[in-house]
Amino acid sequence: NAGVTQTPKFQVLKTGQSMTLQCAQDMNHEYMSWYRQDPGMGLRLIHYSVGAGITDQGEVPNGYNVSRSTTEDFPLRLLSAAPSQTSVYFCASSYRDSSLRAPYEQYFGPGTRLTVT
Amino acid sequence: GENVEQHPSTLSVQEGDSAVIKCTYSDSASNYFPWYKQELGKGPQLIIDIRSNVGEKKDQRIAVTLNKTAKHFSLHITETQPEDSAVYFCAASNTPGTASKLTFGTGTRLQVTL
């Protein structure tokens, strides 16, 4: 298994440009999430999905859109990039056993470092 | 919402010594507390986790303790080695059955010196 993959690894955008950060997992995980990591602030949840066709907002959703058309893919779209979106973005996925009624380990991708000038 | 505080922000220990990182959380409904290790240029990787029905869990040199009354949990690393040097994050989740909504602490940079 490749696990969680993210592309691109690095990206530089100008203010106002749009782009999509790609995330894919091959573990058949139901849950997928996007986090951003900024110095001194840990990881903050942007959006998450509990299954194909279902998405919801996290702590810092403004300026980002997501969709989940398949179990494997969970792209993150920046509609109009702003310097405040300069960050490292991590995608994560996890499995859930409904009988256990408890969370399972989140597997993180290698990250995308985004700079908006 | 949930708020997780983590201390210290940096920690330097000599090889062979123990390291302790502490976190507090605000939501008494939180029931899952993972710890992640992040090496430079990589994504976080789970090293140990604990659920609210357990007070302590150990895995070789790593242990985690949970005090639900005080809303406090800690990571203990014994016999530290240079490869333990990394940034460690605690997290909490208050959504039963849903791993996606983790609230992270701000991280502790651990440096193990020879």
Tens of pLDDT, residue by residue over A39-71, are 888 899 999 998 899 999 999 999 999 999 999
Q: How does residue B77 score in pLDDT terms, banded at 50, 70 and 90?
A: very high
A16 pLDDT more than 90: yes
Q: How does residue B64 score in pLDDT terms, banded at 50, 70 and 90?
A: very high
A65 Cβ partners below 8 Å, 6+ apart? A47, A76, A77, A79
B46 → chain A, closest CA residue:
A105
Chain B residues whose beta carbon lies within 8 Å of the beta carbon of residue A33: 100-102
The pLDDT mean for chain A works out to 92
A109 pLDDT more than 70: yes
Interchain contact A14–B (C-beta under 8 A): no
| Residue A40 backbone class (left: φ over 0; alpha: ψ -120 to 50; beta: rest) | left
Chain A residues whose beta carbon lies within 8 Å of the beta carbon of residue B104: 35, 42-44
Residue of A21, A43, A60, A105 to mutate when probing chain B, most B C-beta within 10 A: A43
What is the reported pLDDT for A97? 61
Q: How does residue B54 score in pLDDT terms, banded at 50, 70 and 90?
A: confident
Q: How does residue A24 score in pLDDT terms, banded at 50, 70 and 90?
A: very high
B53 pLDDT more than 60: yes
User: Which residue in the block uniquely carries the two structure tokens 């894919």?
Assistant: A24
Stated length of chain B: 114
Distance CA(A36)–CA(A50), nearest Å, equals 19
Contact B99 A40 (CB under 8 A): no
B62 pLDDT more than 70: yes
**Which of A 74-113 lie inside 8 A of B, CB atoms?**
90, 92, 94-96, 98, 100-111
Instruction: Spell out a b/e string for A51-90, using b for 16 or more CB atoms within 10 Å of the CB, else e.
Output: ebeebeebbbbeebebbbeebbebbbebeebeeebbbbbb
Neighbour tally for B41: CB within 10 Å: 10
Picking from B41, B97, B103, the nearest residue to A96 by CB comes out as B97
What is the reported pLDDT for A41? 84
B39 Cβ partners below 8 Å, 6+ apart? B45, B86, B87
